[in-house]
Protein backbone atom coordinates (compact mmCIF):
# COMPACT_ATOMS: atom_id res chain seq x y z
CA UNK A 1 0.00 0.00 0.00
CA UNK A 2 1.33 3.44 -0.83
CA UNK A 3 1.71 6.23 1.69
CA UNK A 4 -1.18 8.29 0.28
CA UNK A 5 -3.50 5.24 0.33
CA UNK A 6 -2.63 4.64 3.98
CA UNK A 7 -3.36 8.28 4.83
CA UNK A 8 -6.70 8.09 2.97
CA UNK A 9 -7.62 4.86 4.76
CA UNK A 10 -6.70 6.40 8.13
CA UNK A 11 -8.74 9.54 7.35
CA UNK A 12 -11.72 7.39 6.33
CA UNK A 13 -11.42 5.44 9.59
CA UNK A 14 -11.41 8.68 11.60
CA UNK A 15 -14.44 9.96 9.71
CA UNK A 16 -16.41 6.74 10.31
CA UNK A 17 -15.39 6.74 13.98
CA UNK A 18 -16.46 10.37 14.43
CA UNK A 19 -19.79 9.76 12.70
CA UNK A 20 -20.65 6.72 14.80
CA UNK A 21 -19.58 8.30 18.09
CA UNK A 22 -22.19 11.04 17.62
CA UNK A 23 -25.05 8.65 16.95
CA UNK A 24 -27.46 8.47 19.88
CA UNK A 25 -27.81 5.52 22.19
CA UNK A 26 -31.48 4.53 22.12
CA UNK A 27 -33.04 2.85 25.15
CA UNK A 28 -36.60 1.56 25.47
CA UNK A 29 -38.06 1.09 28.92
CA UNK A 30 -41.37 -0.57 29.66
CA UNK A 31 -43.91 -1.67 27.09
CA UNK A 32 -44.59 0.73 24.22
CA UNK A 33 -47.85 -0.52 22.72
CA UNK A 34 -47.84 -0.16 18.94
CA UNK A 35 -51.06 0.40 16.95
CA UNK A 36 -50.80 -2.93 15.10
CA UNK A 37 -50.85 -4.81 18.42
CA UNK A 38 -54.03 -2.95 19.42
CA UNK A 39 -55.82 -4.00 16.21
CA UNK A 40 -57.04 -7.30 17.70
CA UNK A 41 -58.34 -5.67 20.90
CA UNK A 42 -61.88 -4.25 20.83
CA UNK A 43 -63.98 -2.46 23.42
CA UNK A 44 -67.04 -4.47 24.43
CA UNK A 45 -65.82 -7.83 23.12
CA UNK A 46 -62.22 -8.35 24.31
CA UNK A 47 -61.46 -9.47 27.85
CA UNK A 48 -58.44 -9.44 30.18
CA UNK A 49 -57.14 -12.69 28.69
CA UNK A 50 -57.27 -11.25 25.15
CA UNK A 51 -55.36 -8.14 26.22
CA UNK A 52 -52.74 -10.16 28.12
CA UNK A 53 -52.24 -12.49 25.13
CA UNK A 54 -51.79 -9.57 22.73
CA UNK A 55 -49.66 -7.27 24.92
CA UNK A 56 -48.29 -9.33 27.81
CA UNK A 57 -48.82 -8.53 31.45
CA UNK A 58 -49.52 -4.87 32.29
CA UNK A 59 -46.85 -2.54 33.64
CA UNK A 60 -49.19 -1.70 36.53
CA UNK A 61 -52.73 -2.22 37.71
CA UNK A 62 -54.96 0.22 39.52
CA UNK A 63 -54.24 0.46 43.23
CA UNK A 64 -57.87 0.74 44.25
CA UNK A 65 -59.37 -0.73 41.09
CA UNK A 66 -57.69 -3.91 39.78
CA UNK A 67 -59.94 -3.69 36.71
CA UNK A 68 -57.71 -0.91 35.34
CA UNK A 69 -54.54 -1.98 33.55
CA UNK A 70 -51.68 0.34 32.53
CA UNK A 71 -49.12 -0.35 29.82
CA UNK A 72 -46.35 2.22 30.22
CA UNK A 73 -43.32 2.67 27.99
CA UNK A 74 -40.83 5.28 26.91
CA UNK A 75 -37.95 5.61 24.49
CA UNK A 76 -34.92 7.78 25.29
CA UNK A 77 -31.92 8.90 23.28
CA UNK A 78 -28.55 9.82 24.74
CA UNK A 79 -25.75 11.44 22.77
CA UNK A 80 -22.23 11.13 24.19
CA UNK A 81 -22.12 12.42 27.77
CA UNK A 82 -25.36 14.42 27.60
CA UNK A 83 -28.39 13.58 29.75
CA UNK A 84 -30.90 11.20 28.13
CA UNK A 85 -33.81 12.88 26.34
CA UNK A 86 -37.25 11.30 26.27
CA UNK A 87 -38.31 11.12 22.61
CA UNK A 88 -41.43 8.98 23.01
CA UNK A 89 -43.64 8.15 25.96
CA UNK A 90 -46.86 6.23 25.73
CA UNK A 91 -49.36 5.07 28.33
CA UNK A 92 -52.28 2.88 27.29
CA UNK A 93 -55.00 2.39 29.92
CA UNK A 94 -57.52 -0.46 29.71
CA UNK A 95 -60.69 -0.29 31.79
CA UNK A 96 -62.51 -3.58 32.43
CA UNK A 97 -65.90 -4.21 34.04
CA UNK A 98 -66.55 -6.76 36.81
CA UNK A 99 -67.02 -9.54 34.24
CA UNK A 100 -63.48 -8.82 32.84
CA UNK A 101 -64.86 -7.37 29.58
CA UNK A 102 -62.94 -4.42 28.13
CA UNK A 103 -65.07 -1.26 28.38
CA UNK A 104 -62.66 1.56 27.44
CA UNK A 105 -59.16 2.13 26.02
CA UNK A 106 -57.33 5.41 26.69
CA UNK A 107 -54.01 6.47 25.18
CA UNK A 108 -51.74 9.16 26.58
CA UNK A 109 -48.51 10.29 24.91
CA UNK A 110 -45.57 12.53 25.69
CA UNK A 111 -47.46 15.74 24.90
CA UNK A 112 -49.80 15.15 27.86
CA UNK A 113 -46.92 14.95 30.34
CA UNK A 114 -46.18 17.65 32.89
CA UNK A 115 -42.86 18.62 34.45
CA UNK A 116 -42.76 18.19 38.21
CA UNK A 117 -40.37 20.21 40.34
CA UNK A 118 -38.73 18.13 43.03
CA UNK A 119 -38.52 19.51 46.55
CA UNK A 120 -35.09 19.07 48.09
CA UNK A 121 -36.00 19.80 51.70
CA UNK A 122 -35.03 17.42 54.48
CA UNK A 123 -37.10 16.39 57.44
CA UNK A 124 -35.54 17.52 60.75
CA UNK A 125 -34.76 14.75 63.21
CA UNK A 126 -34.17 14.69 66.94
CA UNK A 127 -30.59 14.65 68.19
CA UNK A 128 -27.55 16.43 66.93
CA UNK A 129 -25.47 16.05 63.81
CA UNK A 130 -22.03 14.63 64.46
CA UNK A 131 -19.15 14.78 62.04
CA UNK A 132 -17.09 11.71 61.18
CA UNK A 133 -14.36 12.42 63.71
CA UNK A 134 -16.90 13.13 66.49
CA UNK A 135 -18.66 9.85 65.78
CA UNK A 136 -15.42 7.88 65.91
CA UNK A 137 -14.19 9.53 69.12
CA UNK A 138 -17.56 9.22 70.86
CA UNK A 139 -17.43 5.43 70.44
CA UNK A 140 -14.04 5.03 72.14
CA UNK A 141 -14.54 2.97 75.29
CA UNK A 142 -18.12 1.95 74.51
CA UNK A 143 -17.32 -1.47 73.11
CA UNK A 144 -16.53 -4.47 75.26
CA UNK A 145 -15.09 -7.53 73.61
CA UNK A 146 -14.92 -11.13 74.67
CA UNK A 147 -15.15 -11.57 78.45
CA UNK A 148 -15.22 -7.89 79.34
CA UNK A 149 -18.22 -6.50 81.06
CA UNK A 150 -20.30 -7.67 84.01
CA UNK A 151 -19.28 -11.11 85.19
CA UNK A 152 -16.37 -11.28 82.74
CA UNK A 153 -12.68 -11.75 83.48
CA UNK A 154 -11.28 -8.88 81.39
CA UNK A 155 -10.30 -5.36 82.45
CA UNK A 156 -13.04 -3.55 84.23
CA UNK A 157 -14.56 -6.76 85.56
CA UNK A 158 -15.44 -6.76 89.27
CA UNK A 159 -12.81 -8.31 91.49
CA UNK A 160 -13.87 -11.20 93.69
Closest CA to 31 of 103, 78, 94: 94
Q: What is the pLDDT of residue 57?
A: 93
Q: What is the pLDDT of residue 130?
A: 77
Q: What share of the chain is helix, strand, coil (3-state, %, to 5)?
A: 25, 25, 50
Could you report the average pLDDT of every consecutive run of 10 residues in the chain (160 residues)? 71 65 83 90 95 94 93 91 88 95 91 77 78 78 60 54
Residues in the chain: 160
Q: What is the pLDDT of residue 116?
A: 74
In angstroms, the CA 23 to CA 99 distance is 49
Q: What is the pLDDT of residue 51?
A: 96
Q: What is the pLDDT of residue 75?
A: 92
CB atoms within 10 A of CB 41: 19
Q: What is the pLDDT of residue 152?
A: 52
Q: What is the pLDDT of residue 44?
A: 95
- The DSSP output letter for 151 is T
- State the pairing for strand pair 85-96/68-78: antiparallel
Q: What is the pLDDT of residue 147?
A: 57
Work out the burial of residue 69: count CB atoms within 10 Å of its CB; fewer than 13 is exposed, 13-18 middle, 19 or more buried. buried
- Stated as kind and residue range, the H or E segment containing 51 is helix 48-55
Amino acid sequence: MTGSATVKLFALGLLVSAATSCSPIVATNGNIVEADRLADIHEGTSNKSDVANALGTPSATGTLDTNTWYYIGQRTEKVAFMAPEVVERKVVVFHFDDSNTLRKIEQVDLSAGQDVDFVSRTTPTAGKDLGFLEQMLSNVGRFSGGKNGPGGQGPGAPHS
